[in-house]
Amino acid sequence: MRVTQLWTGLTFALLVNSFISAEPCEMAITLPGNLGSEALLGSAVALDGELLAVGAPLDTGVAWASGAVYVYRLEAGQWTLEAKLIADDADWGDMLGVDVDLEGDTLVAGAWFNDAFGSNSGAAYVFTRSDVGTWSNPTKLLPPDPGAEDVFGRTVALGDGFCAVGAPLDDDQGNSSGSIHVFDQNADGSWTHAAKLVSSETAIGHQLGLGLDADGLRILGGSPWAYDGRGMIRLWQRLGSTWSSSWFMTMQTTGTPEDYFGFSVALDGSRMAAGAYRDDTYGIDAGSVWVMEEVFDGWSFTQLPPPEPQVGAQFGVSIALSGDDLLVGSRYANIDAVDSGRADVLTAPSWMHRMTLTPPNPANESEFGWACDLEGDLATVGALYQPTDGAVFAWSGIQHACGCQGDLDQSGDVGVDDLLTVLAGWDSTEGDGDINADGITDVDDLLLIISLWGPCP
């Protein structure tokens, strides 16, 4: 056998084995003790590095339903509450935290019912974290052309040096046609309005900006109500100081009314994803997700079905991309005869289903999966109606088996000594080398050692 053939076989076996062995571990999150009644904690979630932001738009910040954002920091494998962020100038019903995003030490939160320029004109707030973990008073972002009922701030996203804010009920191109505003961060930390994004296809009722994500120098916007709810997405690219539309995808001729393609969108490098959470292809309102891959002449696209199609589950109501992994929320999926919701991890290149995340205490219509985010080995899912004030859940072990499965000598990493233990027990039915507990120490245990090599997560 050639060496190349051997390693090709090992690589394939390693991938298959890692899919089979992956078991996420739930991480403890202590919910805030001062939550307002029915705060809708978990309406929005965002992960970046060791920080987790969670929106609670009906929480009491400075008044009823003025909203709040709770920030957690990862310490020794536990999420510890670091701060409660509010807008000092907020008023009742502003709903700060309806959407959130994190990028390094910068956090942006939308307050779509803020009345700065008329009823529900909207606002967004940017908070900055210091080196010692304190958060600044926020900078309030407002569009240069505000209008009542624009709901500016319904969606927010951070990219490289800019912030994007959706105003899906903006009327510039017809009633509720929608728009996306871009703000640049200046050297002194202030923010300047840089662009307003619309498209030639945007028309009455499209609600551009209801789906929104950013990555690098790109912005992906969704118009889920376009073409009787068939939906559309559009990608913008920044060149210098100019934002240009570079690609779009519409379901005008291929979708059906009320699929809502583009309600959720995700952008990560050379991949995009868009959910159609009420698509009926796999059952009434079972949902689906489309994944787009960048190719030499544009973008390819593939429709992904739910791993276990269920009528009414709404697979794709939320999505998140991180590297080769895609996390998809299904807010009404049935778990143990309860319509509590679930979230599923699928992995490129074939988008194989790898794992399902479920709430530890399923509650009917808690909408677990309404919001989700994913970064590397970590995942988080919001359940805004989890009794009684909403909840957020988190897991590790998305990419690697958690609990450091291969650390046989308890040294804190998987290395040479663990490999030697496996080799010493080769073909034995006894001993410490049987990592996967199948009754024998063999090549599967060796492949596990290789897949888990390095520091424990």
- In 122-279 the beta strands, taken as DSSP E runs, fall at 123-128, 139-141, 155-158, 162-167, 179-185, 191-197, 211-215, 218-222, 232-239, 242-250, 261-268, 271-276
Collapsed DSSP state (helix, strand, coil) of residue 43: coil
Residues 258, 145: one domain? yes
| pLDDT bracket for residue 383 (50, 70, 90) | very high
Q: What sign does the dihedral 125-131-132-133 (CA atoms) show?
A: positive
CA–CA dist 139, 183 (Å, integer): 12
Q: Is 125 exposed, middle or buried (0-12, 13-18, 19+ CB in 10 A)?
A: buried
Give the residue numbers spanning the domain of 421.
406-455
- Span 380-407, average pLDDT: 87
Q: What's the pLDDT score for residue 21? A: 42
β-strand partners of 343: 329, 357
Q: Specify the CATH number for the domain of residue 425.
A: 1.10.1330.10
Residues 314, 437: one domain? no
β-strand partners of 221: 212, 234
Q: What's the pLDDT score for residue 439? A: 64
Cβ–Cβ < 8 Å for 360, 393 = yes
Residues 218, 77: one domain? yes
Task: Take residue 356 and report the two structure tokens written for it.
Answer: 């399902």
Expressed in angstroms, the distance from the first to the final Cα of the chain is: 36
Collapsed DSSP state (helix, strand, coil) of residue 108: strand
Percent of the chain with pLDDT over 70: 90
The answer as to whether 18 is a domain residue is: no
Q: Specify the CATH number for the domain of residue 130.
A: 2.130.10.130
Residues 123, 195: one domain? yes
Cβ–Cβ < 8 Å for 353, 344 = yes
Residues 287, 167: one domain? yes
Write out pLDDT tens, residues 303-355.
999 999 999 999 999 999 999 999 999 999 999 999 999 999 999 999 999 99
Residue 7: pLDDT over 80: no
Residues 369, 423: one domain? no
Residues 388, 411: one domain? no
Write out pLDDT tens, residues 74-126.
987 789 999 999 999 999 999 999 999 999 999 999 999 999 999 999 999 99
When comparing pLDDT for 83 and 133, which is higher?
83
Which among 347, 367, 396 is the end of a domain? 396
Which among 378, 396, 414 is the end of a domain? 396
The answer as to whether 16 is a domain residue is: no
CA–CA dist 393, 358 (Å, integer): 9
Residues 104, 174: one domain? yes
Residue 19: pLDDT over 60: no
Residues 415, 379: one domain? no
Residue 1: pLDDT over 80: no
The answer as to whether 15 is a domain residue is: no
When comparing pLDDT for 296 and 94, which is higher?
94
Q: What's the pLDDT score for residue 78? A: 86
CA–CA dist 238, 219 (Å, integer): 9
Number of H-type helices and E-type strands within the chain: 4, 30
Q: What's the pLDDT score for residue 4? A: 30
Q: What's the pLDDT score for residue 443? A: 86
Q: What's the pLDDT score for residue 216? A: 97
* Residue the block writes with tokens 């120490």: 441
Percent of the chain with pLDDT over 90: 75
Residues 165, 240: one domain? yes
What is the value of pTM for the model shown?
Answer: 0.85
DSSP state of 452: T
Which among 354, 376, 396 is the end of a domain? 396
Residues 55, 122: one domain? yes
The answer as to whether 17 is a domain residue is: no
Residues 363, 421: one domain? no
Q: What's the pLDDT score for residue 177? A: 95
Residue 61: pLDDT over 50: yes
Domains of the chain: total: 2
